[in-house]
Amino acid sequence: MFESAELGHRINKAVYDTEVPPLRVALLDAQFDLAQSATFPVIILIGGVDGAGKGETVNLLNEWMDPRFIQVHAMGTPTDEERERPSMWRYWRALPPKGKVGVFFGSWYTAPIIQRVLGKSKASQLAQSIERINHFEKMLTAEGALIIKFWFHLSKEVQKKRLKSLEKNPKTRWRVTDTDWEHFHLYDKFRKVSEHTLRETSTAEAPWTVVEGTDAYYRGLTVGKILLEALRKRLDLPPPQPHLNVAPLQAPLDRLDVFDKLDMSQKLAKKTFDSALEKYQGKLNLLMRDPKFSKISLIAVFEGSDAGGKGGAIRRITAALDARHYQIIPVAAPTDEERAQPYLWRFWRHIPRKGGVTIFDRSWYGRVLVERVEKFCPEQDWMRAYSEINDFEEQLVVNNAVVVKFWLAITQDEQLRRFKARKEIGFKRFKITDDDWRNRDKWDEYEHAVCDMVDRTSTDIAPWVLVEGNDKNFARIKILKTLCQRVEAALKKQK
């Protein structure tokens, strides 16, 4: 992929000086139009060999464009906070909202390439990273993002001359580090691994552009013109209408589903409940104080029918926890800030550090439940969400998170009883809304959606736990017991 970037591309200063002023005006106009429309974000990745002009190009973009609408992220060595979360967490947090440009100087490609070159990862691990990256970028583009990827290249001979030249000049020698020379001595390995990675990740949605970095005028004009063309094409042309060419999801012909196997008559007497509550709350507290818990995190997801008992179950869990170490995230309709980002963004930013606990009162599954049933998003969006959610949860588990997902199931008769009780009790009236009654009218549609959700996202690493919720005592103990079992199993795996 690098042959055309070793031909000695150059542009003389006169041409550069002539073309740059109108290019800058056009870029600013495009950036203003982007900000005014606020219909999609622009993500620019800057990668390549040391000494090829990556930093100079980032500075140039900052100079040419309006700094109010451009965010530059130099992604260096991860901080302690970042190391305690999945590797993609730091990038999710830095994604630009719709209407803005985000420049990543160093990106999700950097670590996989360097680790493979230095022998710190295997070929299979690089392949896994590439697959994860492709899924990530496909998701971003499906959410509307425009991704522009630049790889700055130098031949081995030119890179050596470039590093020596920078090092010789007192004004630029600070740019050359021992690490740059260490990487240079591994040039052939870097080239091989980089070429393979670029080839596997140059997709129709997010292709790579390889730019020869020898001549500053050439690389500057090249990047500017490609960026302008991509922006104008996206801004001036109507977005293509997606087509979903898959068979629709159908309910089983015999109408038998996972809820038919639940014994909703199970109950727990008050005396038995009190004893079990004390037992499992105490056990959960001890597990959280185990020194090995600092190596893992806990993410508990609560979904269920309206009036299913999520809030009461969560309160029984938090009663056993240290308030300094957990957070509860109640999920409602997305805010304007959240709507300006990819769907999963608002959940990624709440992922806990090692030793922490996050409880989601409703979650990312809203896309395949309420958004599906109420048609708040197109079919192609909630259909692709199944695989995106599975990818998301896999990254959490790989990072030693214990992901426990509860669906609190109740019967229609029990829901009606609870609705009426909430309406009559003064301090519970806020819990019942017109939406709850409307959702009840779509019981069968929601049940079909839930069954699809369980079938498609209940995995070995993050299975769904279906909780028989007609009796609150039984449900609360089952939830506490399950949490204890899952956390205890995770702790046993820690050294």
Q: What is the rounded distance in angstroms from the CA atom of residue 48 to the CA atom of residue 54?
A: 7
CB count in 10 Å sphere of residue 429: 11
Cα distances (Å, whole numbers) of residue 355 to 39, 288, 473: 38, 8, 29
What is the arithmetic mean of pLDDT over 3-28? 95
State pLDDT tens for residues 248-269: 777 777 777 888 889 999 999 9
Ranges 161-170, 265-274, 418-427: which has the least confidence: 418-427
Across all residues in the chain, what is the average pLDDT?
Answer: 93
Q: How many CB atoms lie within 10 A of CB 480?
A: 22
Least confident among 45-54, 252-261, 335-344, 454-463: 252-261
pLDDT score, position 434? 75
User: Mind listing the pLDDT tens digit for each residue in 407-433?
Assistant: 999 999 999 999 888 877 765 666 677
pLDDT band at 243 (very low <50, low <70, confident <90, very high): low
Residues 88 and 107: their CA atoms lie apart, in Å, by 10
Instruction: State the pLDDT at residue 437.
Output: 77
Residues 6+ away with beta carbon under 8 Å from 461: 393, 394, 397, 403
At 332, the amino acid letter reads A
Contact residues for 194 (Cβ-Cβ < 8 A; gap 6+): 49, 113, 151
Q: How far is CA 29 from CA 66, 100, 217, 299, in A?
A: 10, 13, 22, 45
For residue 179, pLDDT over 90 is answered with: no
Please state, for a pLDDT cut of 70, what percent of the chain lies above it.
Answer: 96
pLDDT value of residue 260:
85
* pLDDT score recorded for residue 274: 97
Residue 83 has pLDDT above 70, yes or no: yes
Taking only the tens place, the pLDDT of each residue in 38-62 is 999 999 999 999 889 999 999 999 9
Helices 187-201 and 110-117 pack at an angle, to 10 degrees, of 140
Q: Where are the domains of the chain?
A: 3-236, 258-492
What pLDDT is stored for residue 426 in this prediction? Answer: 63
Q: Are 328 and 318 in contact (CB under 8 A)?
A: yes
Write the pLDDT tens digit of every residue in 192-205. Answer: 999 999 999 999 99
Where does the pLDDT of residue 172 fall: very low under 50, low under 70, confident under 90, or very high at 90 and above?
A: confident
State the pLDDT at residue 428.
62
Question: What is the pLDDT confidence band of residue 247, given thresholds at 50, 70 and 90?
Answer: low
Q: What is the pLDDT of residue 245?
A: 65
Domain 3-236, what architecture?
A: 3-Layer(aba) Sandwich (3.40)
Q: Please provide the size of the chain in residues.
A: 495
Per-residue three-class SS string for the chain: CCHHHHCCCCCCHHHHHHHHHHHHHHHHHHHHHHHHHCCCCEEEEEEECCCCCHHHHHHHHHHHCCHHHEEEEECCCCCHHHHCCCCCHHHHHHCCCCCCEEEEECCCCHHHHHHHHCCCCCHHHHHHHHHHHHHHHHHHHHCCCEEEEEEEECCHHHHHHHHHHHHHCCCCHHHCCHHHHHHHHCHHHHHHHHHHHHHHHCCCCCCEEEEECCCHHHHHHHHHHHHHHHHHHHHHCCCCCCCCCCCCCCCCCCCCCHHHHCCCCCCCCHHHHHHHHHHHHHHHHHHHCCHHHHHCEEEEEEEECCCCCHHHHHHHHHCCCCHHHEEEEECCCCCHHHHCCCCCHHHHCCCCCCCCEEEEECCHHHHHCHHHHCCCCCHHHHHHHHHHHHHHHHHHHHCCEEEEEEEEECCHHHHHHHHHHHHHCHHHHHHCCHHHHHHHCCHHHHHHHHHHHHHHHCCCCCCEEEEECCCHHHHHHHHHHHHHHHHHHHHHCCC
**Could you read off the pLDDT of 102-123 as tens digits, one per residue?**
999 999 999 999 999 999 999 9
Please identify, in words, the CATH class of the domain defined by 258-492.
Answer: alpha beta
Cα separation values, 439 from 305, 445, 469, Å: 9, 9, 18
Give yes or no for a contact between 308 and 414, defined as CB atoms under 8 angstroms apart: no
Between CA 424 and CA 52 the distance in angstroms is: 71
**Is pLDDT of 453 > 90?**
yes
Q: Are 43 and 74 in contact (CB under 8 A)?
A: no
- Using CA atoms, how far apart are residues 396 and 1, in angstroms rounded to an integer? 34
The arithmetic mean of pLDDT across residues 464-478, rounded, is: 97
pTM for the model stands at: 0.91
Higher pLDDT, 380 or 423: 380
Instruction: Tokens 């020869």: give the residue.
Output: 212
pLDDT band for position 241 (cuts 50, 70, 90): low
Region at 207 (left for phi over 0; alpha for psi -120 to 50; beta for the rest): beta
Is the pLDDT assigned to residue 242 strictly greater than 70? no
Quick one: angle between helices 472-492 and 270-288, nearest 10?
30
pLDDT band (50, 70, 90) for residue 281:
very high
